[in-house]
Amino acid sequence: MSVRKLKPITPGQRFRVVNGFDAITTDKPEKSLLAPKKRSGGRNSQGRMTMRYKGGGHKKRYRIIDFKRTKAGIPAEVASIQYDPNRTAFIALLNYQDGEKTYIIAQNGLQVGQTIVSGENVDPEIGNAMPLANIPLGTIISCIELRPGQGAVMARSAGAFAQLMARDGRFATVKLPSGETRLILVTCMATIGVVSNSDHQLLVSGKAGRSRWLGRRPRTRPVVMNPVDHPMGGGEGKSSGGHPRSRNGIPAKGFRTRSKTKASNKYIIERRKK
């Protein structure tokens, strides 16, 4: 994993920091695992804009990822590590011994030719997926299920990881990337290791056009809007805008929006850090 700083031969490259893509082994995706990806541009079925600051962007095809890792006990060889335009992490193409091919989220240190497997009675090695009941305490994990059979929903982005802290009966205590500590059923699956492309946070786009390529349109600051458009708008000259809040009037910066009666509150041992 490395990053490269470009020479400032143009204004857009002066501060540009790009990924070295050392881990990538091929630029040809597996055709059988590609699906079309429709873009809405922030418009609803009537063609009206319902989500601001979206639109444009380069055309993409979706890579079908196996988040469930249900092929228990069948070894798979890592055929290649690939770039995925739909996520920050890299993905790995697996060739199973029964002939099936799937994509998974790649972990740091996953090498081409390496054999990985999922199931209950497997070794806790990088890339292997297993229930929380079988993972040694203190292990760094990622791609964690929240409900058994649901598929991985937590710790999936570049460089993300969680830690298995304890087990008690039906539940395991897991410290999540946000700092939150919560209980998860021990029958939920998780993958050993840290998610790949941990240098993603060091990248610098260099110019506004690169955000347009990602489908992000310019965002207007609330302070410069009119009072009819936003609670922080209006005023003569450069007014401060008052208390920071959303367009609907909900305060930002420290205001807790989580419901006190939410059913899953009983599973949260420690809230995430502010």
Contacts of 246 (CB under 8 A, 6+ apart): 252
Q: Are 182 and 269 in contact (CB under 8 A)?
A: yes
Distance CA 257, CA 273 (A): 15
d(CA 220, CA 192): 42
pLDDT at 1: 65
- Please give the model's pTM, rounded to 2 decimal places: 0.92
- Tokens 């009537």 locate to 46
**Amino acid at site 31:** K
Q: What is the pLDDT of residue 96?
A: 97
Give the separation between CA 197 and CA 2, rounded to whole angstroms: 9
pLDDT value of residue 66: 97
Quote the tokens at residue 33: 């695992």
Please tell me the distance from the alpha carbon of residue 105 to that of residue 68, in angstroms, as a whole number.
Answer: 11
Domain coordinates of the chain in residue numbers? Answer: 17-39+59-200
> In a structure prediction context, what are the per-residue pLDDT tens digits for the chain, which is 274 residues long?
689 999 999 999 999 999 999 999 999 999 999 999 999 999 999 999 999 999 999 999 999 999 999 999 999 999 999 999 999 999 999 999 999 999 999 999 999 999 999 999 999 999 999 999 999 999 999 999 999 999 999 999 999 999 999 999 999 999 999 999 999 999 999 999 999 999 999 999 999 999 999 999 999 999 999 999 999 999 999 888 889 999 999 999 989 999 999 999 999 999 987 6
Q: Is 99 exposed, middle or buried (0-12, 13-18, 19+ CB in 10 A)?
A: exposed
- Alpha-carbon gap, residue 167 to 265, rounded angstroms: 19
Architecture of domain 17-39+59-200: Roll (2.30)
- At residue 30, what is the residue type? E
